[in-house]
Chain A
Amino acid sequence: MANYSGAVKTVKGGYHFRITLVKIFVYIVCIFLTIIAIAPFIIMLFNASKDRLEIQKANLNWAPEITNKTIASLLPSKSFIANGKYLLTSKALGLPFGRGFLNSFIIAAGATILSVYFSALTAYGFTVYRFKLNKLLYGFIMLIQMVPTQVTVISFVEMMYKWNLTNNYIPFIVPAIAAPGTVFFLRQYMASALSLEMVEAGRIDGSSEFGIFNRLVLPILKPGMATMAIFAMVTNWNNYLLPSILLDDLDMSTIPVLVGKLNGNKYSTEYGAVYWGLSLTAVPLIVFYLALSKYIIAGVALGGVKE
């Protein structure tokens, strides 16, 4: 960067110098934001390997001068396995995280499969058939995307109590059939990816209407459905409010519900165990995210250009 300082004298050089300054500033901001985005997770992982005293003592190391002790208090330590054992198996503190992963997976996978398949079915119905209420009903789907879902939470819970569906997977999986946002996305996707001539050709070959959809159309929609599946998976995995009311049996609880319990009184001094539990739930998601980040970022960009 130093070579540029000599060029300030000429007009063109001044311009380049200014751009370089802006560039440096941009990179400083970006690196700062990168640290803010990542640091909480690093601290979480490192603290998961410390015992209670080590975390407590880190307290005193914010002194202005950096000593060996400061550095040692930032790095991981050796209580990782002990903390894990404590959280998973101890009678007083143990939470069934293994079972929680299974529950979360069943709910998220079930809801994802239903929402993606039936959304494709619905979008196909609107795209291919010209029935009387087509426009009106599609307009209705656009409108209900805006309805705040939490408004109906209490009545939904009351209904589930009446139907005796507490501590059950059904309230989290079956309603996923009606996913207005996914229908909207797949309808847009079909407009560009699906040719109606192909549907016509399928009919001439004598396929049934469902046969055409399942065998000819679904394979074409795969990329769009995969994008929606990733987001459905994450949303359903992270869902908290409804499970926190309807799943009061620990063995039926999902990961967010179990993590919420780490906020309770009996964990108030078990710092290491709390960080360990948080890491346990964060790491699989981070791995999932990094593996699919290309598709996720592209999906976010697509989702925004809805207008």
Chain B
Amino acid sequence: MASTKRKRAKLEKNHWGYIFIAPFFLTYLIFQVVPLVDTFRYALTNAKAWYTDPSQNFDFVGLDQFKVILEDTYFRDAMYNTPVMWLMGFIPQLGMALLLAAWFTNEKIRVKGQGFFKVVFYMPNIMTATTVGVLFLAFIRPNGFIHNFAVSIGYLKSSRMPFTSEWFGRGIVAFIQWWMWYGQTMIVLIAGILGINPSFFEAASIDGASGFQTFRKITLPLIKPIMTYTLVTSLIGGFQMFDVPNMFAIGNNSAAFGPHVTTIVIYIKKIAYTGTTSVGKACAASVFLFAVTAAIALFLFWIMRDKDEAKAKKAAKKRAKEQAALEGGNI
């Protein structure tokens, strides 16, 4: 095909690939891989925060830190609150997004002003999570409008008494998560539905399928990969929930919710940088977070996989390979 000389030139040029990708991998190594290894290393020691113990005289303690955190009721609270608050927000988030996506893509309903609704529903997602957290905290504090409403309907006895119910605390965090994310999920699902080959819908319409039947039998199965993707990314994000619940877990104004809205990351930060500043314990909790997230994500991928999709993927891979071979020939 090509002369030896040209082949060699090609080879030399291809070495440039390593130079182009080097900054990424060097940065990733220093700022992500090294800390990840450190996390596993610290988890096996009784290390304290560097600013309380600059000499870093710590001992190897094996798996003791894992035992300690698993017996810590505060950590157990966090392990319970985090998935519960995530689910309380995620189920209505996916439900609302699916409903809106079905309506917005329905030819018969033809919702006007979709562009406007998309912009409005997505808006909370762009806001600083701390701003949103402090704002809703101001609403539920005595003299905030939600608090006042609860007093006026008799849910709270006094205008000076704060909300104390643990489920109200988890509920408001879940509500904020829902409020910030259903618009994003809706836009993603609409894009997925619009990407479906229209001939499927035509065929269904000719066969006399109702709107609901079409949605259940055609739309839902075909957007399953996108829903899996949404589910897994939301789960990974949900287990790392910090900014919003943190506003309801710290500070005297909201101490009523403290342990009831504490998430794993709140626990990690608190254990590492307050009190005895136990970095060892915090890293053990981080390893735990890593393992739990990975296990659940893999499990979700596994139950949501289907055979057709696996086959399609194989075919796509083959196609990509062919294309790569083609491109390789061009250069």
Taking beta carbons and an 8 Å cutoff, which residues of A are in contact with B? Answer: 19, 22-23, 26-27, 30, 33-34, 36-38, 40, 43-44, 47, 55-56, 58-63, 118-119, 121-122, 124-126, 128-131, 133-134, 137, 141, 144, 146-159, 161-162, 174-175, 177-178, 180, 183, 196-197, 199-200, 203, 209, 213, 234, 237-238, 240-241, 245, 255-257, 259-260, 262-265, 268, 271, 274-275, 278, 281-282, 285-286, 288-290, 293, 296-297, 300-307
Contact = CB atoms under 8 A, between A and B. Distances in A.
Most buried by A among B191, B232, B268, B289: B191
Most buried by B among A63, A158, A282: A158
Given A125-B17, A245-B269, A150 B242 contact: yes
A281 B247 contact: no
B229 to A, nearest CB: 6
Given A40-B139, A128-B17, A130-B17, A301 B330 contact: no
Interface string B43-69: 000000111000000000000000000
Contact of B188 (A237, A238, A241, A304): A304
A285 B126 contact: yes
6 contacts: A30-B111, A121-B20, A130-B324, A256-B129, A256-B243, A305-B195
A26 B179 contact: no
A30 B330 contact: no
A265 B36 contact: no
B111 A26 contact: yes
A200 B331 CA distance: 7
A286 to B, nearest CB: 7
A197 B326 CA distance: 13
B25 interface: yes
A56 B31 contact: no
Given A30-B111, A304-B188, A154 B31 contact: no
Contact of B130 (A141, A148, A240, A304): A240
B242 A126 contact: no
Contact of A281 (B131, B273, B287): B131
A63 B153 CA distance: 9
Contact of A285 (B117, B128, B324): B128
Interface of B: 13-21, 23-25, 27-28, 31-32, 34-36, 38-39, 42, 49-51, 100, 103, 108-109, 111, 113, 115, 117-124, 126-139, 141, 143, 145, 148-149, 151-153, 159, 179, 183-184, 187-192, 195, 225-226, 229-230, 232, 236, 239-240, 242-243, 246-247, 250-254, 265, 268-269, 272-273, 279, 282-283, 286-287, 289-290, 293, 297, 324, 327-328, 330-331
A8 to B, nearest CB: 18
B313 to A, nearest CB: 9
B195 to A, nearest CB: 6
B15 A131 contact: yes
A302 B149 CA distance: 41
Contact of B20 (A129, A157, A275): A129
A190 to B, nearest CB: 11
Nearest to A59: B148
A150 B265 contact: yes
A152 B226 CA distance: 28
B42 A300 contact: no
Most buried by B among A61, A119, A245, A262: A262
Nearest to B286: A151
Nearest to B297: A146
Closest 10 CB pairs of A and B: A125-B20, A129-B17, A304-B188, A62-B152, A155-B38, A301-B191, A155-B35, A178-B28, A152-B35, A175-B31
Given A19-B109, A241-B265, A281-B131, A154 B124 contact: no
Contacts of A282: 127-128, 131, 135
Contact of A151 (B36, B183, B246): B36
A268 B31 contact: no
A155 B36 contact: yes
Given A154-B283, A155-B42, A304-B226, A240 B243 contact: yes
A274 B164 CA distance: 22
